[in-house]
Amino acid sequence: MSAQPSHPLTRLSDDEKMFQAEVEKFANQVVKPKVLHMDETETMDPEIVKQLFAFGLMGIELPEEFGGSGGSFMMAVLAIEAISKVDPSVSVLCDVQNTLVNNIFLRWANPEQKKKYLPQLAASKVGSYCLTEPNSGSDAFALKCRAFDEGTHYRLEGKKIFITNAKEADIFIVFANVNPELGYKGITGFIVERGTPGFAVGKKEVKLGIRASSTCEVLMDNCKIPKENLIGEYGKGYKIAIETLNEGRIGIAAQMLGLAQGAFDGALKYAAEREQFGKSLNSYQGIQFQMAEMATEIEAARLMVYNAARLKDAGEDFVKEAAMAKFFVSEVAERVASKSLEVYGGYGFIKEFPAEKFYRDAKIGKLYEGTSNMQLQTIFKLLQTK
């Protein structure tokens, strides 16, 4: 039996508390001054990306021998949460790198692939995870992207959409089907580097929220890659995709948790400062009850996120808890962002205050890395297996 988490739920170790405080300081000093400009221009500031690497936040779980921080999954969750309090756009860049791309290399790459790519991912190169296609969203394995074995190499053909980090990325994990007759059992994962002939990043989508985060098409036309760029086992890409997304959902839950906390903190501060009818807003019971309700929901959400992360670090089964966390925390984030905006009144509707951005950013939580309906389906399915 695996050891139980040494620090259950929201109880953090001293090292975790210190790490969390340092990431919060980083977010406020490095990220916060650029949030509004990045949102308006829909671009990720390259200097922030460099600083994420310099601070060790793009290789949190990677072993020190590869240049990583040698941390835990829980530490990655704490980093995502802390950055999301300031800007969920920056946090999702960090999230995809750590919970999806780095995890794939750690769990399924062979020694040569780890030696080649992990130092790059720890030091300077952004990774991207390419699964979704125009006709393959929630039905993730209805892939049309093909991989053809041509003896000395594989040839990739097809199109991916809604690919996070694509604009900044240099290393892409692409899922394609090597044998459609086998259905999902033909899906295989491949490593594709930016600059490979026949590989291109297409248009960047204009989005409602997390606008600084790049969401792009990825196009492959006669894209030839070496045989050694197959990652994991031939035909086992579906397993890599499923298991990686199970972990990634905890990361998205952490993003939504941080977003909710950031929106709430701003509203709480504003309610203490804003006066109406000769009294501060927070002296009115209607505001007090609303703030208390939001704080309670955020704390419940934090318990769920941290519990899922602890289970993962302890080697316990966490799939149901991850799905529950992503579903519930996405709901909480949307409610808290909406209620927080209302605390500001008309000021919440303008860009001078962060409330409207948190409100726009919150909606994505119910949509990516598995919609809320897909989480409910997973939860029910796992309840039936007890």
Q: In this structure, are 61 and 160 located in the same domain? A: no
Q: In this structure, are 223 and 246 located in the same domain? A: no
Mean pLDDT of 237-263: 97
DSSP state of 155: E
Query: Does 181 score more than 70 pLDDT?
Result: yes
Query: Tell me, what's the pLDDT at 1?
Result: 33
Provide the pLDDT confidence category of residue 9 given band limits of 50, 70 and 90. Answer: low
Query: Tell me, what's the pLDDT at 359?
Result: 98
Q: Which domain holds residue 263?
A: 239-384
Spatial distance between the Cα atoms of 71 and 155, rounded to a whole number of angstroms: 37
Burial letters for 8-41: b for 16+ Cβ neighbours within 10 Å, e otherwise? eeeebeeebeebbeebbebbeebbeebbeebbee
Instruction: Examine residue 4 and state whether it is found in any structural domain, yes or no.
Output: no
Last residue of a domain, one of 97, 126, 155: 126
Query: Does 7 score more than 70 pLDDT?
Result: no
Q: Over pLDDT 70: what percentage of the chain?
A: 97
Query: Tell me, what's the pLDDT at 79?
Result: 98
Read off the CATH number of the domain in which 223 is found: 2.40.110.10
Per-residue model confidence as pLDDT tens digits over 148-177: 999 999 999 999 999 999 999 999 999 999
Q: Alpha helix locations (H) across the chain?
A: 14-26, 35-41, 46-54, 73-84, 88-95, 103-108, 111-123, 237-273, 285-313, 319-343, 355-362, 372-384
Per-residue model confidence as pLDDT tens digits over 116-153: 999 999 999 999 999 999 998 888 788 999 999 999 99
Instruction: Examine residue 276 and state whether it is found in any structural domain, yes or no.
Output: yes
Among all chains, which residue has been given the structure tokens 């399915």? 381
Instruction: Examine residue 7 and state whether it is found in any structural domain, yes or no.
Output: no
Q: In this structure, are 266 and 162 located in the same domain? A: no
User: For helices 73-84 and 88-95, what crossing angle results, to 10°?
Assistant: 160
Instruction: Examine residue 268 and state whether it is found in any structural domain, yes or no.
Output: yes
Counting the structural domains of the chain, the total is 3
Q: In this structure, are 255 and 347 located in the same domain? A: yes
Query: Does 280 score more than 90 pLDDT?
Result: yes
Query: Does 242 score more than 70 pLDDT?
Result: yes
- Predicted TM-score (pTM) of the model is 0.95
Per-residue model confidence as pLDDT tens digits over 41-71: 999 999 999 999 999 999 999 999 999 999 9
Spatial distance between the Cα atoms of 143 and 156, rounded to a whole number of angstroms: 13
User: What is the DSSP track for 227-269?
Assistant: GGGEESSTT-HHHHHHHHHHHHHHHHHHHHHHHHHHHHHHHHH
> Going by DSSP bridges, is the β-strand pair 126-130/169-177 parallel, antiparallel, or unpaired?
parallel
Based on the residue annotation, tell me whether 16 is a catalytic residue of this protein.
no
Instruction: Examine residue 8 and state whether it is found in any structural domain, yes or no.
Output: no
Last residue of a domain, one of 102, 126, 150: 126
Catalytic residue, from 168, 247, 297, 369: name it: 369
Mean pLDDT of 31-38: 98
Last residue of a domain, one of 69, 101, 126: 126
Provide the pLDDT confidence category of residue 4 given band limits of 50, 70 and 90. Answer: very low
